[in-house]
């Protein structure tokens, strides 16, 4: 896998985790990292996007409704640009995700962000998913059919 593809996969994996955890968790983890100087390219803002759907997955597309989205963009002084998009009106989370995205692209900071921010949050998220699955499995009911004998 080329270096550019590996970077894109690492960014996608990090965004998958960061989008699903509360902003307070991200902020607490990123406080452990020496964040270099940076500036906002796009201050965090909220807006609406149209959500489209399809019936049956292959039907004609239709407008399902609108969803609120927050976005931000950050540039490190070393030149890396990070973007953050989240559902809802959490502008702090969008800014933190953009900062993490920029830091993941920096060779000097990518390792620290991966080990101190993304990996612990990924483990925490997986543990919560496993606990939810175990709780759901505990309530599972197995149905069976008895054949009524003729006689």
Mean pLDDT of the residues in the chain: 90
In a domain, 142, yes or no: no
Give the pLDDT confidence score for residue 66 in this predicted structure: 95
In a domain, 105, yes or no: yes
Q: Domain range spanning residue 118?
A: 3-135
Answering whether pTM is above 0.85, one says: no
In a domain, 146, yes or no: no
In a domain, 148, yes or no: no
Collect contacts of 53-60 with beta carbons under 8 A, ≥24 apart.
none
In a domain, 122, yes or no: yes
Total domains in the fold of the chain: 1
Give the pLDDT confidence score for residue 145 in this predicted structure: 66
- 3-class state of residue 151 by DSSP: coil
Kindly report, residue by residue over 6-63, the tens digit of the pLDDT: 888 989 999 999 999 999 999 999 999 888 999 999 999 999 999 998 888 788 899 9
In a domain, 149, yes or no: no
Q: Which two tokens stand for residue 84?
A: 């953050």
- 3-class state of residue 36 by DSSP: coil
In a domain, 140, yes or no: no
| CA dist 63 → 19, 48, 86, 112 (Å) | 24, 13, 20, 41
Lowest mean pLDDT among 49-58, 86-95, 135-144: 135-144
In a domain, 145, yes or no: no
């Amino acid at each position: 896998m080329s270096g550019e593809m590996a970077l894109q996969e690492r960014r996608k994996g990090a965004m998958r985790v960061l989008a699903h955890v509360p902003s307070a968790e991200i902020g607490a983890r990123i406080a452990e990292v020496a964040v270099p100087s940076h500036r906002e390219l796009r201050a965090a803002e909220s807006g609406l996007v149209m959500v489209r759907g399809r019936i049956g997955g292959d039907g004609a597309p239709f407008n399902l409704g609108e969803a609120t989205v927050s976005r931000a963009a950050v540039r490190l002084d070393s030149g890396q640009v990070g973007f953050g998009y989240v559902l809802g009106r959490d502008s702090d989370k969008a800014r933190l995700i953009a900062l993490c995205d920029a830091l993941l692209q920096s060779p000097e900071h990518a390792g620290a962000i991966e080990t101190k921010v993304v990996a612990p949050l990924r483990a925490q998220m997986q543990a919560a998913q496993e606990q939810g699955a175990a709780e759901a499995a505990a309530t599972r009911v197995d149905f069976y059919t008895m054949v009524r004998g003729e006689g």
